[in-house]
Every structure is written in C-alpha cells, then in structure tokens.
C-alpha cells in the first residue's frame, strides 16, 4: 500500500472523485476503489471516472434565481473538482450548464491520476470486510451499486431494500435531423438564443404521438422490479403520458417561449427539444425523454416526430436501477453511520438526486473526514447555504418514514426572516433572490474558513 493510513473511497463517480480531491488537497491520502472496467453496469459505457450516464446537463447555472445555480456557485467557492471540469468542458445550453460528457470525464480522471496522494485501484469491493485497512471508508457507489455490495450494505444497516428506477433519454446524430422542419432556439431566447433544436408538432401530431407512446411495447420487468418506484425527476415519458393527455404538453413538450422560424405563422401545439451532447455538436439528446420502450419501438415512435423522420440514434433510451439508503434514519450529521463512525456515505446513494447534488455530498464528506484526520472540530456548511440545506435534508430534516431522493430546491432552505420589503409583501422572485444572496454570502465565508484551515489556500 502506498500510504498505510489512506481513506478508502468505494466508487469513482462524481461523489467519489470529489471526495478524493478534497481529501488529497487537505494532504490526506486516498484510495479510490473502482470496479470498472473489471465489472461494468447496465448504464455505464466507459471505464473513466465520473462518467455521466444520463443527461449531459448540470441544469440551471443561474445563481440568482435558481437553487441549482446557487449550488453550482457554492461548489466553485469550495474549489470543487467537478465544477472546475464542468466549466472547462462547457457547451452551449441556454441558461443551463451542459458539458461534453467524454471530455468532462476524461478531465476528471486526468486530474485524479495526476494527484500524488490519490491511488486508483481497479477492483470490485463487494463486501466492506474486503478492505485491507481499518481507516475511514466512504461508500460513493452511486445509483448503480453492485447487487453484492448493496446486499452487504443491507446487512450492515439492517435495511430491507435500497432501490428505485432511473431512466435514460436517447441521443441522436445531428446530421440525421431535418433542419428544414426543426429550428434552433432557446426557450425565451436564453443563452445564445439558439442553444436547442426544436421539433414542432400540430395538435393532431401531438395526439397521435401520445397514442403511439401509450400503445408502444415496453420493457418487461422482472418480478422484483414491479414494486420498485421511479424517481419523479426522471419519470419515463410513457408514465407521464398516462397521467393525462395534456401532461407532456405542459412538461417536456411545452411550446411556450418558442417561435418556429421555418413557419412563423403557425404556432406549434407542442415542441420536442434536443440539447447538444458534445462539444463539436454532432450528438444531441432529446430533453426529458427518458423511456422504457423497447429499442425497436423507440426507433419507430421517435421517427414520427417532425424533423426526426430519418433520425439515427447514437444511444437509445433505457432504465437503470438506482440505489439509496434511508439517510435520515442511518446517518448522523457527519455523513457516517450512526452504528459505525468509520463508514461514511456520499453521493446519490445518500438520497440526493442529480449530478451536482451528488458531487456536493462527496465534497462535504471529504471535508468532514479531513477535519477528523487533522483532529479539528468540524465546521459545518451554514444552514442558509445550498450545501447546508442539502446536508440537513438527508441527515435530519427529511421524514425517515417516507424518505425519497431529492434534488436541491429552495424548499429545503430555511425561509427568509423578513416577510416584507418597504411594507410590500415579498413575492416568490424576491424570496428566491434573497435566499440566493444569503446562501452565497454564508458559503463564501465557510469556504474561506475550510480552505484556510484544511488546505492553506
């Protein structure tokens, strides 16, 4: 072993990579145990660290009005590896932060490989007892935790199950999109104003599309899968369509804020958007179109979309199992098991949902262990911050009886103290902006403290 007192991190995804980076920059040696390529998952396609298996979007980068944007900015303040690489690999996406997924994961791996205090072991850990030292261990195996390790976690925690379903949207080659029908435009002209490709549907085309979705052949579930729930934020379009004929038109197919430059006199009844998936613009994913249709049915149904009649697919949609623990029941505020202070959890397995949320919990876990290693009292991210709100949600604020994965949102933040400004009641926009400003002010102070104490920055 290169360093006998290394922290073990199981999983080289976003959370594991971020935790390793924070620890190593605090002069704490780390071993990342990553099972790929020795053993892959149903969703991963590469062996690189921090592979993005679903969307290539980190969602909104607006840190004034959007909770996700606030979290982005807080991670930047805390010298996050994931946000650094995301910013370097950014591609056009309106007001969102989207990345070239291959360049992004390659950059993360290069940074990790180059750090002298981080060692990568390409091996599967299917039992915690297999680790060769008794130091702190972070389990950051994410939504695709192997069944053998999941079973060992169940044994360690006494839980009965750790799974729900997540869905993946298809990716299409740009040169197969008919741009005589589709057009470039961001909703309400955000970003460059032309960051998305839009496919228009008339009322008749929309209803026919919904009918095709509902009657298409779906993937057959195994018995144990039939009671596994979906995460609401990655709901397959067929499930959404079952909720009502107009549901998709007010969700991923909403036509609002768009004008068809190929036919300005006719307002589309619904619009399907595609977002750039790589830096050269050769790949585009269908926004919000996670699906459990069979591959052949996806090709048939999606080719009925105007502009996609000759679509060629770089990747078809699908489902993958997502694993998480009941964090408010099992973890203390330090992100370690209440029953074992040396076993920590980070990332999506803690019940946060989303790329930046996963990286955030990895960052916090890494910082907390660094404090422990240096025998310093932990400085927690303030409650008013996005980082603090996320941590509080999964460790104490969420109901452990109904706990389900959650994205960052302003509902997790402590409310603003004042309800009025100059005698006027605070509206929703004002409230969000006040929460954002307060969060970033507190986060800047916290980041400066931990950087000075742990990293001498």
- In order, the DSSP letters of 213-260 are HHHS-BPPPPGGGTTPPBPGGG--HHHHHHT-TTTGGGTTT--TT---
- Altogether, the residues listed in the chain come to a count of 457
- CATH T-level fold of 167-320: Elongation Factor Tu (Ef-tu); domain 3 (2.40.30)
Q: How far is residue 4 from each of residues 134, 140, 350, 432, measured CA to CA in Å?
A: 10, 21, 28, 47
CA distance 225 to 319: 11
Q: Tens digit of pLDDT per residue, the chain (457 long)?
A: 467 689 999 999 999 999 999 999 999 999 999 988 777 776 677 889 999 988 899 999 999 999 999 999 999 999 999 999 999 999 999 999 999 999 999 999 999 999 999 999 999 888 888 775 678 999 999 877 877 888 888 888 887 767 666 667 888 999 899 999 999 999 888 887 889 999 999 999 999 999 999 999 988 755 444 555 555 566 789 989 999 999 999 999 999 999 999 999 999 999 999 999 877 888 899 998 988 899 999 999 999 999 999 999 988 887 766 788 999 999 999 999 999 999 999 999 998 989 999 999 999 999 999 999 999 999 999 999 999 999 999 999 887 876 777 889 888 898 876 666 666 778 889 889 999 999 999 999 999 999 888 876 5
Across-strand partners of 315? Answer: 171
CA 375, CA 15: separation in Å to the nearest integer? 23
Maximum Cα interatomic distance, the chain, rounded to a whole number of Å:
70
Q: Would you say 456 and 26 are in contact if contact means Cβ atoms under 8 Å apart?
A: no
Contact yes or no for 335/361 (Cβ under 8 A): yes
Task: Enter the tokens of residue 103.
Answer: 């360049």
Per the CB < 8 A criterion, the answer to whether 277 and 284 are in contact is yes
Q: What is the pLDDT of residue 242?
A: 93
The pLDDT, as a whole number, for residue 250 is 95
- State how far the Cα of 383 lies from the Cα of 377, in Å rounded to an integer: 17
Give the pLDDT score at 194: 87
Give one DSSP letter per residue of 416-442, joined into a string. PS-SEETTEEP-HHHHHHHHHHHHHHH
| Closest among 75, 71, 76, 74 to 60, alpha carbons compared | 71
What is residue 282's predicted lDDT score, i.e. its pLDDT?
A: 85
Residue 249 near residue 210, CB atoms below 8 Å? no
| SS3 label, residue 105 | helix
Tokens representing residue 295 in the block: 């591959």
Q: Which of 148, 144, 157 is nearest to 336 (CA)?
A: 157
Q: Where are the domains of the chain?
A: 7-162+324-455, 167-320
Topology classification of domain 7-162+324-455: FAD/NAD(P)-binding domain (3.50.50)
CA–CA gap between residue 368 and residue 365 (Å, rounded): 5
Q: Using an 8 Å Cβ cutoff, are 229 and 165 in contact?
A: yes
d(CA 192, CA 93): 8
User: DSSP assignment, residue 175?
Assistant: G
* Contact call for residues 197 and 184 (beta carbons, < 8 A): yes
Q: Phi first, then psi: what are they for 58, rounded to 5°? A: -90, 10
Neighbours of 409 (CB within 10 A): 14
The pLDDT of residue 224 is: 42
């Amino acid at each position: 072993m290169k360093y006998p007192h290394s922290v073990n991190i199981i999983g080289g995804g976003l959370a594991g990579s971020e935790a390793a980076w924070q620890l190593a920059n605090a002069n704490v040696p780390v071993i990342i145990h990553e099972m790929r390529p020795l053993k892959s998952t149903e969703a991963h396609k590469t062996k690189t660290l921090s592979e993005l298996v679903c969307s290539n979007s980190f969602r909104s980068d607006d840190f004034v009005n959007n909770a996700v944007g606030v979290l982005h900015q807080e991670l930047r303040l805390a010298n996050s590896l994931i946000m650094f690489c995301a910013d370097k690999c950014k591609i056009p996406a309106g007001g969102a932060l989207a990345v070239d997924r291959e360049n992004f994961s390659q950059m993360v791996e290069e940074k990790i490989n180059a750090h002298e205090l981080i060692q990568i072991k390409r091996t599967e850990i299917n039992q915690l007892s297999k680790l060769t030292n008794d130091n702190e261990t972070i389990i950051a195996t994410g939504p695709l935790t192997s069944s053998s390790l999941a079973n060992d976690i169940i044994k360690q925690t006494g839980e009965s199950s750790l799974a729900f379903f997540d869905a993946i949207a298809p990716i299409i080659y740009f040169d197969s999109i008919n741009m005589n029908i589709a057009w470039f435009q961001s909703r309400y002209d955000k970003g460059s104003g032309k960051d998305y490709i839009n496919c228009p549907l008339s009322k008749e085309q929309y209803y026919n599309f919904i009918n095709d979705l509902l009657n298409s052949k779906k993937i057959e579930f195994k018995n144990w899968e039939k009671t596994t729930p979906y995460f609401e934020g990655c709901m397959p379009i067929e499930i959404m369509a079952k909720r009502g004929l107009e549901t998709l038109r007010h969700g991923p197919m909403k036509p609002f804020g768009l004008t068809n430059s190929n036919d300005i006199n006719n307002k589309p009844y619904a619009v399907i958007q595609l977002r750039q998936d790589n830096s050269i613009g050769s790949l585009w994913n269908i926004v919000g179109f996670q699906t459990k249709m069979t591959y052949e049915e996806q090709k048939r149904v999606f080719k009925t979309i105007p502009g996609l009649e000759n679509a060629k697919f770089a990747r078809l949609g699908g489902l993958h199992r997502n694993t998480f623990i009941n964090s408010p029941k099992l973890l203390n505020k330090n992100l370690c098991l209440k029953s074992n202070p040396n076993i920590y959890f980070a990332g999506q397995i803690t019940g946060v949902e989303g790329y930046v949320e996963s990286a955030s919990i990895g960052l916090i876990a890494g910082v907390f262990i660094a404090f422990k290693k240096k025998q310093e009292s932990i400085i927690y991210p303030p409650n008013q911050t996005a980082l603090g709100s996320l941590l509080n949600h999964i460790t104490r604020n969420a109901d452990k009886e109904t706990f389900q994965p959650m994205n960052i949102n302003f509902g997790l933040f402590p409310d603003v103290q004042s309800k009025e400004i100059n005698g006027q009641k605070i509206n929703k926009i004002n409230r969000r902006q006040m929460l954002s400003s307060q969060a970033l002010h507190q986060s800047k102070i916290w980041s400066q403290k931990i950087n000075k104490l742990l990293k001498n920055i």
